Amino acid sequence: MSARKVPLPDSEREDVKTAAQRDGCEPMLAVLTEDRFSDPDWLYERKLDGERLLALRDQDRVRLMTRNRKEVSATYPELAEAIACQPARDFVVDGEVVAFDGAVTSFSRLQQRMQIRDAEKARASGVRVYLYLFDLLRVSGRNIEAMPLRERKRLLRETIGFDDPLRYTPHRNENGEACYRTACEKGWEGIIAKRADAPYHHGRSRDWLKFKCSSGQEFVIGGFTRPQGEREGFGALLLGYYEDGALRYAGKVGTGFDDAFLQDFRKRLDRRRRDSSPFELTPDEADALWVRPDLVAEIGFTEWTQGGKLRHPRFLGLRRDKAAEEVVRETPS
């Protein structure tokens, strides 16, 4: 598909502080819900299991920014180049970078790219990545965040040429329940429901809702246990989330690691060692070692126990796009 510049009358240009000037403004975030619904006033998109990015182009300058304002163009050089090749020279787009394991997006596979900081090493990693775009915040000198979502998505398709590794995020209209069932049958993470006439809000908003097929969220790493038997590195990671400013213990995860990660991550943990527990209530773990709680892990699990711990947790990867102090327990609303 060839891209076209969007004609914008001078009378519509806004003299505002733009997303590009804010150096990676806070993206719009969805609220978790257990209410699956169908509504003609809503759009339904696939929930992708990757890393959220804002791509900013200002003439010859291109930046890829994570949700916590980290510049990651060297990690995804092919994505930065694809943005730089667009005919439009001034825009901000919102999307998610993913890697695939078969037909399903895999955060674990994406980890192999997320840890790389050198562009040439990233290209040689063998992990192909794609940037799925689903929103447009700015184009041709104009901030369009106040526009309805449907209009922003129309302008997105007119502004960007969608050839790999850039992909448009398709959506379905109205039938959210069927879309959700299809997502779960295909092994997707879930669906994002978006109010079609809503503006773009910075931060979490009920105009975007998450329909999850399985449980999972981010947790802060507050400690680890020593390895047992022939295992190297560490035994399990001790996890928590913040509530009223205190780090609450949520349990430990001991699966989902390969041997290389166990050994390499132990070195990172040792550099963060501290004498006291960072948790408000110290976990009853006799062989626990404590660390500075500044690393965030993505964890899948089946459910919360009545005692507030994770049942059958599994490690999916580390997150660099969310600050530890922002991690809270996700509860449907």
Q: What is the CATH number of the domain that holds 121?
A: 3.30.470.30
Question: Tens digits of per-residue pLDDT, 257-309?
Answer: 999 999 999 999 999 999 999 999 999 988 899 999 999 999 999 889 989 99
Do 159 and 61 share a structural domain?
A: yes
Contact 83, 125 (CB under 8 A): no
Question: Tens digits of per-residue pLDDT, 94-110?
Answer: 999 999 988 888 888 99
Do 135 and 272 share a structural domain?
A: no
* Boundary (domain end) residue, out of 212, 238, 273: 212
Q: Which residues contact 9 (CB under 8 A, 6 or more apart)?
A: none
Do 195 and 147 share a structural domain?
A: yes
* Boundary (domain end) residue, out of 212, 238, 257: 212
In this structure, is residue 331 part of a structural domain?
Answer: no
In this structure, is residue 15 part of a structural domain?
Answer: no
For residue 221, give the nearest of 315, 286, 311 by alpha carbon. 315
Catalytic residues: 47
Structural domain range at position 237: 215-326
Do 236 and 181 share a structural domain?
A: no
Number of structural domains (the chain) is 2
In this structure, is residue 10 part of a structural domain?
Answer: no
Phi, psi (rounded to 5 degrees) for 194: -130, 130
* CATH assignment at residue 255: 2.40.50.140
One-letter amino acid at 129 equals V
In this structure, is residue 9 part of a structural domain?
Answer: no
In this structure, is residue 192 part of a structural domain?
Answer: yes
Q: How far apart are CA 33 and CA 177, in angstroms?
A: 13
Q: Which residues partner with 39 through β-bridges? A: 174
> Residue 300: in which H helix or E strand, if any?
strand 288-301
Segments of the chain with pLDDT less than 70:
1-24
Question: Tens digits of per-residue pLDDT, 41-69?
Answer: 999 999 998 999 999 999 999 999 998 88
**Tokens standing for residue 272:** 């963060």
Q: Report the pLDDT value the prediction gives residue 302, as an integer from 0 to 100.
A: 84
Q: Report the pLDDT value the prediction gives residue 221, as an integer from 0 to 100.
A: 98
Contact 111, 317 (CB under 8 A): yes
Do 292 and 180 share a structural domain?
A: no
Question: Is residue 265 helix, strand or coil?
Answer: helix
Sign of the dihedral defined by the CA atoms of residues 310, 311, 315, 319, in that order: negative
Do 96 and 179 share a structural domain?
A: yes
DSSP 15-84: -S--TTTTTSPPPEEEEE-S----EEEEEEEEEP-SEEEEEEEETTEEEEEETTS-B-TTTSHHHHHHHH
Contact 291, 220 (CB under 8 A): no
